[in-house]
Structure 1
Amino acid sequence: MNSNNKVACPLDCYDACQGQMIENNIKGSKEHKTTNGKLCVNFANLLKEKNLEKAIYEGKEISLDESLNILVDKLKQTTPIKTLFYKGSGNIGVMQSVTKNFFTLYGSTLTRGSLCDGGGGAGIEAGRTNVINPPLEKLLNADVIVVWGRNFSVTSSHMYNLVKDKTFVTIDPVCTDIAKKSKIHMQINPKTDYELALLLTRFAHMQDLEDKEFIEEFGNNADDFFDISRGRPVVSYEATTGIPLSLVNDFFDLIENKNVAIMVGLGVQKYFEGSQIMRCIDSFAAFMGYHKKEAGGVWYLSNSAFGYKKPFEIKGNNKKVSIPKVDFGSYDLVFIQGANPVVSHPNTKKVIEGLKNSFVVYFGTTLNETCEYANLIIPSTSFLSKKDVRLSYGHELKSISQIVKEKTQESLSEYELTNFLLEKFGFEKLKDEDEIISYFENHKPELEEFETFEFLDELDIEPLYKQKTQDNFYFITAKNKNSLNSQFSKDDFVYLNSKTNFKDGDIVNISSKYGNAKFEVKIDDDIKENCAFFFAGNKNANYLTPALEDEDSFSAMYQEVLVQIELS
């Protein structure tokens, strides 16, 4: 068997699968603990995708060399600060960030913040320095797994398969697949997760279940956090969160004297005060001592690069713009790498208007909705034909990608494009590619010792339920098991509970203060009746969302919105 047969899945999901090329077929790697010999649906779908074969300029196919010459000419004719470098997560191998090296040296405007996890990450860092998940072994040894705002069996199918026989609790406005497999499902009202965390803290204290040793040794401001939790009557939480107090009692009966893992998803922090919401959840976990137990802990989107040197980081004084507030039309040239902002970026109407007013370069492996507005399209080499390392934000394991398929001559890798541009503009070229990859392959970061925890000691969150009326709905999204964001299968429906009195097939106009769009209704009683639910990648959903940043991390806050629904 060829020893160069490893293939790391580049997709933006928790598991970071590793495959192997066996007799011209990609199979799941048995040596990779989470992949465990089986490919997931997303990896299988990726292998079926048709890659770009030719560069395109103003709608006509051209050669790769011609496309690169056009790019160089445009960059030389443009004031650097009037160019925008916009990178997505179509491929999140470590080598994919190399292109930022050139655009930093060139002087482009760069983005800061995140479209998915920034608020939650800021909340965790405020309490315990780094966004680092516990070792996978602690999840495997947990007794009870609390899935909080995360459809664990869909978004982390490999990790789920390792623990599927555990006892689960789900906290989610949607009765997800994992909720149906759970002992307890708390069908919470959106943007009240912080209130539930405070309520759980209050119950823990009343039942004398808090970890006094942890609080004494590691916890700062624990008394202040507890004071926040008892600042209102216990019964008042029932109406705002939608969670009966009896269910909270059941929860504590279930977890008492158990090793508990909390798997937190992105849904809890897609709001203006997302960092405070996450910090409340993390502070409840600390109140229970979960951060220092021999099993269990809190998992979120880990900083996958923690403990590694940044091989491409160049210090520059580049202007940076908050990613959700990007105005594409204010730049003369926009370089988009592995992203589909026409679908994935907030406020679609503003995105399209902006792209129409700029020279747009798209660099990626497949065509998507954003390519319709691109003046120049440059094919990126398939992940099967370039070397890379995929670090995981779901666990500490890494996946290796070797070249298992000959690359097409009309494409080039991110490393090749960057070196080409560096040379054309007189900058120093990159380190040898093998040297960079070898470092990531062979380096094993040490986990950070837990020294102290800063409990949340002040809370200032404006609840959405204060603005909500009987005539509007919470806007919520989640991942689809048949797609990954805007890749693969398309699902552009709005899902509503039958109690809303809409019917299957109704065409409705949905509006918010940021925009409006038409949708076809699918009735699904797994959706809470006060919610309008959309799968991530719905091509019209972001007509409704705000191009605004959260309070702490320059990040998007997609769900900080209420919508109205009318028959069209």
Structure 2
Amino acid sequence: MKVLGACPLDCPDACSWVVTVEDGVATGLRGNKEHPVTRGALCVKVNRFLEQVGSPDRLRYPMRRVGPKGSGRFERISWDDALDEIATRLTGIIDEFGGEAIWPFHGTGSLGYIQGMEGFPGRRMFNLLGASHHRPTICSVAGTTGLNYTLGTAGGMDPEDFAKSKLIILWGTNPLSSGHHLWKFIQDSGAYLVSIDPVRTKTSERCDEHLAPLPGTDAALALGLLNVVVSLGAHDTEFIAEHTVGWPEFRDRIKEFTPERVAAITGLPEERIVALGERIARTRPTAIRASQGMQRHAGGGMALRVLGCLPGVTGDWAIPGGGLHYSTSGHFRLDDAALRRDDLLPHPVRTLSMTRLGEALLEAEGPPVKALFVIAANPVGSNPDQRRVIDGLSREDLFTVVLDHFGTDTVDYADIVLPATMQPEHLDVLAGYGHLYLVWNEPAVEAPGECLSTTETFRRLSRRLGLTEPALYDSDEELARQLLKGYDLDRLRADGFLKIQAGPVPAGKLQFVSARAEAAGHDPLPSYIPPADSGDGLVLISAASHYFLNTIFGSNPELRRRAGESSITLHPDDAAARGIADGDAVVVSNARGSFDAVAEVSDRVRPGVAGTTKGRWAKFNGGATVNATVAERDSDFGGGAVFHDNRVEVALR
């Protein structure tokens, strides 16, 4: 039997897949050949997904902690006992501290609308309890906010239109390791390819040209390129006049960023900036692919805001194959409000930021956080300031419930652990943020042991709490129909995917001057905001791994073997200055923390920059990972994370 499904992981490609089932067992998994983006291929990580599903290490039964927090010592209990204990503890916390003392912490372990973060499963129940709202700031919020200031949407161009481009700039993105299906459209284009990345990645090596600016200087570089375009008179005066607001003021801002000044900011040769600016000036259509990594610094939102302006100056927004692709999420018009039912709130509640977890657990204003539900997340492995997160989770007065598939670093700090179903075992709906397709996931097999879907877990807990609101007990299919109001659900379910119609970009006139940005306390004009972590040391970039996806697969034995030991790449000049040779054991540190690694000496990074990858578990990496060194502070827009605004020192161990 063949069952259509969808990859739920935090990747732009949201692949459609086909599960082969024999005698109730999933025996095969492949990409759906009929899907225009998946085209039959999965990635090196997801090719091993059935190993994850059937792993002997998978959590299969509810558990209660019996050792100290962090020890990972648990005993098996029944679902009745688990639900009774959770209901009793929540009731007591609400009676003493109020509902806002509860924090449902959703992660990107699944991007499903029914089971994952896009739909916040359990939100209806938590709303009735008056729990704090969770704001998912770890991924793309700074860039999304910046693009909305400029374009009125973050939706961007249809990625399939890259096949029509003549010049493609891959800005801070490495699709051959993360979201590789875009590469097929890039190859189809025959375009001249430029990689802009502080690290020479797998993708950079396949491009015609690679520029390596200092991390966090992307907005300055974009303004410098625009300076060249405008100096050559190559700006599209007709598009600017008809489709933009604030051009005279923005033109004056562009004049400030001469190639000479931008070279000093970015560390790039002036002639390289001029040459790329000239190429942009004479090449239509030009397309830019920018991903989330480049906006994880102090000026990340502003950087995307400037990038959104660039196709407005050149007129590429009006040309098929021209424009910018960051995330297509803004094009999906789904009724997620019907899923979340914030109308069930008894009163307004506070919002807690995902990337300020340590701060909130240790220093929350208002009622203290007394109960934490961690859902499809591993904040010990994924959040900034790992030490503070661990300190917060170690509080004996914090009641922590974790829903997961494996015994992650975060599970070790739980009081109650609940086993969750995996993608072939439940119903879900996905929307790609790297394409324009809805994707359906049909359950293919029964879950092992006593695993429950996230939705069923909260239905059962709602009953145990004595809640009578009918909306708490809607089935997964009912939830899907509420979400997909206006779409043909039956067709989606039968075909496995359905392309949506993209909205206009820009949505209205492009805002070179943004009143909304000014009202929020920002510069009304696009500009450059320098990195906040400045001074001595090396700027550390922690990019996506070719073998892990966030911290998913961090325990997979084969993928861990392929990934090898935790490493840090140093330029030969920086390594020599520290007496470090290739293969040396080193410690990477700053005032926030440290982690162990093995040195790789290579010119893949520019001087002053060090490169590593994210996704490792602390328990397999000497007790700490790269996030031990990352600051728990906000980017410029939206409270985004600053993983790449991070200076460290590297020394021999």
Kept after mapping to 1: 8 A contact 2:339/2:479: no
The amino acid across from 2:646 in the alignment is V
1:155 alignment partner in structure 2: 178
Q: Which runs of 5+ in 1 are unaligned?
A: none
**Which among 380, 404, 418 is matched to residue 342 of structure 1?**
380
1:73-111 CA distance string (max 9 Å, x none): 221221222221100010111102222221122122222
**Which among 323, 347, 350 is matched to residue 319 of structure 1?**
350
Tell me, in whole angstroms, the C-alpha distance in 1 between the residues paired with 2:146 and 2:525. Answer: 13
Kept after mapping to 1: 8 A contact 2:331/2:503: no
Alpha-carbon shift at residue 254 of structure 1 (Å) = 4.2
Tell me, in whole angstroms, the C-alpha distance in 2 between the residues paired with 1:339 and 1:465. Answer: 27
What secondary structure does 1:20 align onto? strand
Tell me, in whole angstroms, the C-alpha distance in 1 between the residues paired with 2:607 and 2:416. Answer: 45
Alpha-carbon shift at residue 140 of structure 1 (Å) = 2.2
What secondary structure does 1:378 align onto? strand
Q: Does 1:52 align with 2:59?
A: yes
Tell me, in whole angstroms, the C-alpha distance in 2 between the residues paired with 1:399 and 1:156. Answer: 16
Kept after mapping to 2: 8 A contact 1:133/1:395: no
Tell me, in whole angstroms, the C-alpha distance in 2 between the residues paired with 1:435 and 1:368. Answer: 32
Q: 1:402 to 1:297 in 2, by over 3 A?
A: same
What secondary structure does 2:121 align onto? helix
TM-score, normalised with respect to structure 2: 0.82
Alpha-carbon shift at residue 65 of structure 1 (Å) = 3.0
Q: 1:513 to 1:292 in 2, by over 3 A?
A: farther
Q: Does 1:448 align with 2:491?
A: no
Q: Does 1:173 align with 2:198?
A: yes
The amino acid across from 1:126 in the alignment is Y
2:549 alignment partner in structure 1: 484
1:82 alignment partner in structure 2: 101
Alpha-carbon shift at residue 57 of structure 1 (Å) = 0.7
What secondary structure does 2:649 align onto? strand
Q: Does 1:270 align with 2:296?
A: yes
2:20 alignment partner in structure 1: 22
Alpha-carbon shift at residue 42 of structure 1 (Å) = 2.1
Kept after mapping to 1: 8 A contact 2:259/2:273: no
Identity %: 24
1:23-55 CA distance string (max 9 Å, x none): 531121011111101221121132211232122
What secondary structure does 1:499 align onto? helix
What secondary structure does 2:502 align onto? coil
Q: Which runs of 5+ in 2 are unaligned?
A: 22-26, 66-73, 363-367, 490-498, 514-523, 554-558, 619-624
Q: Does 1:504 align with 2:571?
A: no
1:537-566 CA distance string (max 9 Å, x none): 244111111111223202212222322223
Alpha-carbon shift at residue 244 of structure 1 (Å) = 2.2
1:493 alignment partner in structure 2: 567
**Which among 434, 444, 450 is matched to residue 477 of structure 2?**
434
Alpha-carbon shift at residue 237 of structure 1 (Å) = 1.6
Kept after mapping to 2: 8 A contact 1:101/1:418: no
Alpha-carbon shift at residue 196 of structure 1 (Å) = 0.6
Q: Does 1:257 align with 2:283?
A: yes
Tell me, in whole angstroms, the C-alpha distance in 2 between the residues paired with 1:263 and 1:343. Answer: 28
The amino acid across from 1:271 in the alignment is H
Alpha-carbon shift at residue 69 of structure 1 (Å) = 2.3
1:414-467 CA distance string (max 9 Å, x none): 221222233333142333422332453626754323321001553565524993
Tell me, in whole angstroms, the C-alpha distance in 1 between the residues paired with 2:137 and 2:317. Answer: 26
CA RMSD of aligned residues (A): 2.2
1:361 alignment partner in structure 2: 401
Kept after mapping to 2: 8 A contact 1:240/1:465: no
1:72 alignment partner in structure 2: 87
Kept after mapping to 2: 8 A contact 1:6/1:19: yes
Q: Does 1:550 align with 2:565?
A: no
1:494-552 CA distance string (max 9 Å, x none): 22122212222333333334333333322232122211212012441111111112232
Tell me, in whole angstroms, the C-alpha distance in 1 between the residues paired with 2:330 and 2:147. Answer: 15
1:403 alignment partner in structure 2: 443
Q: 1:400 to 1:178 in 2, by over 3 A?
A: same
Q: Which moved more, 1:371-380 or 1:431-440?
A: 431-440
What is the correspondence of 1:137-536 to structure 2 with a 5 Å cutoff?
A: 137-165=160-188, 166-167=190-191, 168-252=193-277, 254-255=279-280, 256-303=282-329, 306-310=332-336, 311-315=338-342, 316=345, 317-326=348-357, 327-329=360-362, 330-357=368-395, 358-425=398-465, 426-430=467-471, 431-438=474-481, 440=484, 442=488, 446-449=501-504, 450-456=507-513, 457-458=524-525, 461-464=528-531, 467-469=534-536, 472-488=537-553, 489-490=559-560, 492-500=566-574, 501=576, 502-536=580-614
The amino acid across from 2:572 in the alignment is S
Tell me, in whole angstroms, the C-alpha distance in 2 between the residues paired with 1:519 and 1:262. Answer: 34
Tell me, in whole angstroms, the C-alpha distance in 2 between the residues paired with 1:445 and 1:18. Answer: 15
Kept after mapping to 2: 8 A contact 1:390/1:399: yes
Alpha-carbon shift at residue 15 of structure 1 (Å) = 0.5
Kept after mapping to 2: 8 A contact 1:147/1:170: yes
What secondary structure does 1:312 align onto? helix
Q: 1:424 to 1:67 in 2, by over 3 A?
A: closer
Tell me, in whole angstroms, the C-alpha distance in 2 between the residues paired with 1:550 and 1:253. Answer: 31
Tell me, in whole angstroms, the C-alpha distance in 2 between the residues paired with 1:14 and 1:428. Answer: 35
Q: 1:210 to 1:427 in 2, by over 3 A?
A: farther
Tell me, in whole angstroms, the C-alpha distance in 2 between the residues paired with 1:225 and 1:373. Answer: 51
The amino acid across from 1:328 in the alignment is L
Alpha-carbon shift at residue 66 of structure 1 (Å) = 2.4
What secondary structure does 1:84 align onto? strand
Tell me, in whole angstroms, the C-alpha distance in 1 between the residues paired with 2:370 and 2:419. Answer: 22
Kept after mapping to 1: 8 A contact 2:20/2:29: yes
Alpha-carbon shift at residue 171 of structure 1 (Å) = 0.5
Tell me, in whole angstroms, the C-alpha distance in 1 between the residues paired with 2:128 and 2:602. Answer: 51
The amino acid across from 1:322 in the alignment is S
Tell me, in whole angstroms, the C-alpha distance in 2 between the residues paired with 1:436 and 1:360. Answer: 27
Tell me, in whole angstroms, the C-alpha distance in 1 between the residues paired with 2:43 and 2:377. Answer: 22
Q: Which moved more, 1:119-128 or 1:405-414?
A: 405-414
Q: 1:299 to 1:238 in 2, by over 3 A?
A: same
Alpha-carbon shift at residue 366 of structure 1 (Å) = 2.2
Tell me, in whole angstroms, the C-alpha distance in 2 between the residues paired with 1:246 and 1:75. Answer: 63
Alpha-carbon shift at residue 280 of structure 1 (Å) = 1.2
